[in-house]
Chain A
Amino acid sequence: MELLIFYPLAGFCVLMGLGVIISSSPINSALSLIAMMMGLAGVFVLQQAHFLAILQIIVYAGAIMVLFMFVIMLLNLKSAEEDTWSIRPQNTYVSVLTGFLALGALYKIACVISQAKLDSPAAVPDDFGTVVRVGTTLFTDFVLPFEVASILLLAAMVGAVVLAKNKID
């Protein structure tokens, strides 16, 4: 039953992921990205990670996508359509070579993984992934990372103002 839900969801994510890189309009890319994030949230729910699924929607599909849209609006939309990409021939050779190398590496990894014995995952406790469980771990075992996260956010705030503010003192 779970697999029946998982495969359509995963397929949807992959399709939308392809949509992000294939569509020529940046707005369409961004919308595909939102759809993919929603799909990922669904996958998280299947994995018993409810809290993570909610975060995925609030933070990624919500906040970070807003940022993406702003960035797209900051750039000039028209120029993307008018510019023709000029590709230097030597770049093409390098790209093709790199592509083949990457494909080879992926093939090798796929071979290794397909032969690997992956144990079936251990059963998770009933409250796994709930807000209570995640919170308990976060606020006791990981209290130091939690506080450091606030320093990280503070540094990021300072950075945003220093780099993006029009006039600074």
Chain B
Amino acid sequence: MLEQYIGATVMFIMAIGIACGMVFMTSVLGPKRHFAEKMEPFECGEKQIVSPHQRFSVKFYLVAVLFVLFDIEAVFFFPWAILFKKLGMFGFVEMLFFIIILGVGLCYVWIKGGLDWE
């Protein structure tokens, strides 16, 4: 039962290992010369002008929400793509309706200017 996951587990462990290893190794092996300017947040070599703790504009929020919605839409495509041939015409038509309905949504968002960066 669990044997089927061995490959995935090994890959997962290696990925974590390499990522963590790289961070760890650089912090151990890398040269360390700290001075005040270097420890500041990087702003193209300029002196820091504003605090990094700034509030984002609310327009990011709209983009994020729309991203989530279309992401969920995309999720439905995975099983559909795999089953496409088996489902035949019926599967094609039902996905067509699904896309048309969401296409209306995309049209709406687009023309209303939801994708514009005001």
Q: Report if A and B associate in a common complex.
A: yes
How many interface contacts (CB-CB < 8 Å) are there between A and B? Answer: 128
Q: Are A135 and B61 in contact (CB under 8 A)?
A: no
| Shortest distance between the CB of B4 and any CB in chain A (Å) | 9
Cα distance A45–B6 in the bound complex, in angstroms: 12
Residue of B79, B86, B114 near A165 (CB, 8 A) is: B114
What residues on A are CB-neighbors of B105 within 8 Å? Answer: 153-154, 157-158
Residues of B65-79 contacting chain A, CB below 8 A: 65-69, 71-73, 75-76, 78-79
Bound-complex Cα distance A51 to B59 (A): 33
Interchain nearest-CB distance for A70 vs B (Å): 4
- What B residues does A160 contact at CB under 8 A? 62, 65-66, 69, 114
Contact with A along B79-118 (1 / 0, CB 8 A): 1101100110011001001100110110011001110001
Q: Is A164 an interface residue (CB 8 A)?
A: yes
**Interface flag for A21 (CB, 8 Å):** no
Q: Is the CB of B55 within 8 A of A73?
A: yes
Give chain A interface residues in 120-137, CB to chain B under 8 Å. Answer: 131-132, 134-136
- Assess whether A70 is in contact with B61, with CB atoms less than 8 Å apart: yes
A18 on interface, CB distance cutoff 8 Å: no
Main secondary structure of the interface of A (DSSP, over half): helix
From known contacts A157-B69, A167-B118, infer whether A74 and B56 are also in contact, taking CB-CB under 8 Å.
Answer: yes
- Give the shortest distance, in Å, between A168 (CB) and chain B (any CB): 7
CA distance A132 to B91 in the complex (A): 13
Assembled-state Cα–Cα distance A139/B95 (Å): 9
Q: Does B2 contact A (CB under 8 A)?
A: yes
Interface 0/1 of B39-66, CB less than 8 Å to A = 0000000000001010110111110111
Q: Which of B55, B78, B101 contacts A151 (CB 8 A)?
A: B101
Give residues 136-159 of A contacting B (CB, 8 Å): 136, 138-139, 143, 146-147, 149-151, 153-154, 156-158
Q: How far is the CA of A169 from the CA of B111 in the complex (A)?
A: 11
On chain A, the residues within 8 Å of B25 by CB distance are none
**B61-A164 in contact (CB<8A):** yes
Q: Are A132's CB and B79's CB within 8 A?
A: yes
Shortest Cβ-Cβ A-B pairs, 8 listed: A135-B79, A63-B71, A73-B56, A150-B101, A157-B105, A70-B64, A160-B65, A154-B105
